[in-house]
Structure 1
């Protein structure tokens, strides 16, 4: 980029008083323009690459790492990369670029951008949904490993997107599904403002298979002080949740709750005092990745014990009835889900936190319920289907590559057999899923509409991105190049996809069919 041309653009910006209609350089992304006491900053996109441009007092130039620069009197015009040093300098000038707490927000929405390219489009959508707080930097350790990213990458990519879009109203960063102290510490030191504590390894769902006698024996083997306290506090006691709901613990309810959840409660207490309070983190607890649904009695016991230990959580993710499988709609009896969701929501409201819905992508059948019932607010997490929207771009712009990606995914599904539970695994084995040889240039779009093929493609993102031949990536660079070249189309797909979620949660449509008809129409 010619620096003299950029200097003319800067002069236009300084004279414009916020109205950039006369700015002729289409490579300058207007929402990113920020003027601070005659210093100017913006994002420049040229040849599908983004750069930071600044026009600043010369004595400030060492704050930045520059590629090119030009001094003009006591000012310096520079071009720099979107890297860590330059981000730190931008954050020092504009503190809204840094992630912050979601505390005090009723409605929060997690957006796991696995490729680091989706946040810009998401933020454009959230400008129209001002009551919802976006959690952009949301990734799990598993996702980091599969995508070859770090927590720092995730937070920095999101922060640059925030600056690019001029999104000044706040955003969060979630160290998602962290389990051990190393992962928690790693998330904190990478700038995450929130952690989601995954208690899967501290839960004992196997106790539900025990007979009454076996359960009683195991419970009574605990120290007498525990047995006496739990019996005195909960056994045959009825706890009023609200005007219409209450919870009463039978012997089996109590013993199952204690033996299944108490290790997880102790772990939560430790993490809260060791990390959450000292580092002022938003705290979410996840008990959803387990085989047994969380009963109202389980939930009440868990919440009660946290309260007795003075643990304050923002959100909690129970294991709901039914199945929240990746990339497809809710599987189960929607009426039963509503009944039990009402109970979970009431318990959450009694103890002062919100329910969190994990694997929330595409669960269009239950969003209206969640939005209607959750008067005190909700948190919904989405992630993987942003990857599928990226594949929608691939299908539109390079359908032959899309067919190759599906063939590879279909034939190597065992790569993720131990990572995800999803119906497509068994359906592929049964021959019920569309075979690669049946995919053509004319029907390739069907791959992103059918539940089974969506799941095959969704779960294989890590294998696709990391596949190498002769020391070179087979697909990764092609995918990123297409997405960079078609950023606007990717943004269009992303916004339509997430808008369907938000509109149902906000009650703008009554059901799945209505919202799909609206956006497909």
Structure 2
């Protein structure tokens, strides 16, 4: 649109804001914000998005325009790119554009838009659901694999919030940060939440010790620690309401101390250096272990944090069973529920919520989590399977490209095996030569090829030949062309999760039938 036409459109909006339908002109109606005689909106034009502001001339100067025009009534219209400078300017006018703390919200959901094009669809889904969305949620590894920055992730989410007119609040998570400089990077990029991955301070090797070796290593600690921990925990039983208790045997005490106490001290350091000074939400991941977190491990960790004056917002144990990437839960659901009752009781006792990591597609356990986490609520993390929903678009609209991506992923799977725990390999997955236009969509419904495609996302996006990306540009161009279709797939995918968590569907089969994909 010409600037004069944009001024006319802005004036029409001010004159009749409730009845203005701007989509035919490229004005995205949900984004329209009117403040007295000023108006702001997102313009879609020639495959690009920009911010348009029509405001008093003497106040509009903090925008960085690519074009502008003065009106005759003391107003100026500016057209700007979706940059940080302009995001800061629009957020000064509408503070809900910036991420906020999730403190006080009972139900929160991490979405992790790796590709930078899923947040709009997610926001449309979450309106009215009573769940606080964590739109920006990326680990350092994910940033490296997608060639993005933390600031880019936060800004992308923020612009989506403005574009959709989502005023209910959202969060930004510096996910699985391990080192102090990674925490600082997340804070400086605008994250309101830190998920501390204490891997380097969790001593998994202790789990392999014999009882005699374990006892010797524990008793080699300073007497101060041996006496303190034995006095606090040994042979004690802690009642947790009517239905749960935690008892500490000698092995429980010694393993809890030797595996986790270093991580407690590290979390305390991070809390005082970053969390408290910047008033951030704090999540601690204690799930980076080779065995499930026992009730004793969990209680010990939480109690020692409490002794240090720390109550995290959420904490992630390693639950019984397997939470592998991109597929449903693997394990005995009866045992999962029995142990979840105790973990939930511990969380309620210490005043935080449980966090479920690698939550994508764990549909079988969601009815249990939703039913048992009524008092404090829950936090569920998803992310990677948004990539698979994008591949669903590729498989539908360009099956040949999808076959190329699968063959590359299949042939190079060894590159990612050290970084993920999953069952899929070349021996139990379909050979690339068996995939054709008629069965290509099966790659996204069968567990093993799903895992192959899921774990190879970074390699696929970054693979180059002769200094040119082989898949990236074709992938993003196609996704942009079929954004509406991608949005539909995304909403079906996440709706399956939250319907089960909220009790709007009872079983995996029911919710799958409800949101069956259009092939």
Which residue pairs with 1:439 in the alignment? 435
Which residue pairs with 1:94 in the alignment? 94
Contact 2:314 2:379 in 1 (8 A): yes
Over residues 434-471 of structure 1, what are the superposed CA-to-partner deviations in whole Å (9 max), with x where a residue is unaligned?
11111111111111111011111111111111112222
TM-score of the aligned structures, taking structure 2 as reference length: 0.98
1:25 deviates by 3.2
1:61 deviates by 3.5
* Cα distance between partner residues in 2 of 1:418 and 1:300: 31
Which residue pairs with 2:85 in the alignment? 85
* Cα distance between partner residues in 2 of 1:487 and 1:438: 29
Residue 423 of structure 2 corresponds to residue 423 of structure 1: yes
Which residue pairs with 2:262 in the alignment? 263
Contact 1:276 1:283 in 2 (8 A): yes
Change (3 A) 1:333 1:397: same
Contact 2:311 2:350 in 1 (8 A): no
* Cα distance between partner residues in 1 of 2:173 and 2:23: 39
Which residue pairs with 1:148 in the alignment? 147
Map 1:364-403 → 2, pairs under 5 A: 364-375=363-374, 376-403=376-403
* Cα distance between partner residues in 1 of 2:112 and 2:161: 15
Contact 2:138 2:150 in 1 (8 A): yes
Which residue pairs with 1:460 in the alignment? 456
Contact 2:347 2:354 in 1 (8 A): yes
* Cα distance between partner residues in 1 of 2:343 and 2:411: 41
Change (3 A) 1:300 1:68: same
1:122 deviates by 0.2
* Cα distance between partner residues in 2 of 1:475 and 1:64: 36
Q: Choose the corresponding residue for 2:488, options 468, 489, 492.
A: 492
Over residues 162-183 of structure 1, what are the superposed CA-to-partner deviations in whole Å (9 max), with x where a residue is unaligned?
0000000100000000001010
Contact 2:462 2:469 in 1 (8 A): yes
* Cα distance between partner residues in 2 of 1:14 and 1:502: 37
Which residue pairs with 2:447 in the alignment? 451
Query: Which structure 1 residue ranges, 5 or more long, are not aligned?
Result: none
* Cα distance between partner residues in 2 of 1:112 and 1:168: 19
Secondary structure of the structure 1 residue equivalent to 2:252 = helix
Which residue pairs with 1:213 in the alignment? 212
Residue 468 of structure 2 corresponds to residue 472 of structure 1: yes
* Cα distance between partner residues in 2 of 1:224 and 1:52: 64
Which residue pairs with 2:230 in the alignment? 231
> Aligned-pair RMSD on alpha carbons?
1.1
Secondary structure of the structure 2 residue equivalent to 1:53 = strand
Contact 1:276 1:282 in 2 (8 A): yes
* Cα distance between partner residues in 2 of 1:370 and 1:190: 32
Contact 1:509 1:515 in 2 (8 A): yes
TM-score of the aligned structures, taking structure 1 as reference length: 0.97
* Cα distance between partner residues in 2 of 1:326 and 1:440: 25
Contact 1:317 1:356 in 2 (8 A): yes
Change (3 A) 1:25 1:75: farther
Map 1:274-353 → 2, pairs under 5 A: 274-353=273-352
Q: Which runs of 4+ in 1 moved over 4 A?
A: none
Contact 1:175 1:184 in 2 (8 A): yes
* Cα distance between partner residues in 1 of 2:320 and 2:128: 33
* Cα distance between partner residues in 1 of 2:404 and 2:60: 47
* Cα distance between partner residues in 2 of 1:2 and 1:447: 46
* Cα distance between partner residues in 1 of 2:313 and 2:360: 21
Contact 1:9 1:25 in 2 (8 A): no
Query: Which structure 2 residue ranges, 5 or more long, are not aligned?
Result: none
Which residue pairs with 2:2 in the alignment? 2
1:26 deviates by 4.0
1:72 deviates by 1.1
Secondary structure of the structure 1 residue equivalent to 2:24 = coil
Residue 194 of structure 2 corresponds to residue 198 of structure 1: no
Which residue pairs with 1:171 in the alignment? 170
Contact 1:236 1:249 in 2 (8 A): yes
Secondary structure of the structure 2 residue equivalent to 1:346 = helix
